[in-house]
Amino acid sequence: MRESLVYEFIPNGSLHDWLHPTSRLSLLQIIHILIDVASALDYIHNHCIPSIIHGDLKPSNILLDVEMVAHVGDFGLARILRTTSYNNNSTEIRGTIGYAASEYGLGNEMTSSGEVYSFRVLLLEMMTGKKPTDNIFSEGLSLHKFAFMALHEHVTNVIDVNILNISQEGGVFKQNMEANVEKMRNVCLQRSRVEYHAP
């Protein structure tokens, strides 16, 4: 008897398809998707025994069902989180450039903290409409620095204009946008015990 894997039908494709080349998501949809992804990461990091690291969190690995609920897929690079140290193979593939924590390129072990870094990149990409590998990010400018420079005074200048156009809440939306985005950015860009540098 042959064994098969049966997956849920995901008619709305990947998050990448909804973000690029032009975002088709409202702010409310973005928030719901981020909550779905964060819940999935919380489950595999904190509620699976043993814990699991996805290893390649990015928009093309997030799938949207008929109700736009986000599902984290493609666990091909996933690893079981070990409680003891071991010798790493420095040539092992770890994540995707732009989304993976910089220390992965040094051969360090994948961690849940590194995955939170990838989630931060995902959030910034969804809010700005820019990929971390876009051509404008060169000569020391990264997606993180691009967003950081706008903090406090010009946050709405880096928000993808399509989000503003799709999210038709008018003046109330625009009034609250800067404060809410600043709060989100502060939470997601706070440094953890391991200091991450933008790739």
For 22-37, the pLDDT digits (tens) are: 989 988 899 999 999 9
Question: What band does 85 get if pLDDT is binned at 50, 70 and 90?
Answer: very low
Helix (H) or strand (E) holding 189: helix 170-189
- Show the tokens assigned to 106: 């040094």
Confidence band (pLDDT; 50, 70, 90) for 3?
A: confident
From the candidates 36, 56, 65, 160, give the one annotated as an active-site residue.
56
Domains by residue range for the chain, with CATH: 15-189 (1.10.510.10)
% of the chain residues with pLDDT over 90? 34
Predicted confidence (pLDDT) at residue 83 exceeds the cutoff of 70: no
> What SS3 class is residue 72?
strand
Position 89 pLDDT exceeds 50? no
- Give the pLDDT confidence of 42-54 residue by residue, as tens digits: 999 999 999 999 9
Rounded CA separation 169/187 (Å):
24
Query: What pLDDT is recorded for position 173?
Result: 56
Q: Does 139 have pLDDT greater than 90? A: no
In this prediction, residue 91 carries a pLDDT of 45
- Please give the share of the chain, as a percent, with pLDDT higher than 70: 70
Residue 42 annotated in active site: no
DSSP string covering 117-169: HHHHHHHHHHHH---TT-TTS-TT--HHHHHHHTTTT-HHHHS-HHHHHHS--
What pLDDT sits at residue 45?
A: 94
Q: Which of 72 and 148 is assigned the larger pLDDT?
A: 72
116-134 mean pLDDT: 92
- Average per-residue pLDDT in the chain? 79
Angle between helices 112-128 and 170-189 (to 10 degrees): 150
Show contacts of 175-179: CB within 8 Å, 24+ apart.
177/27
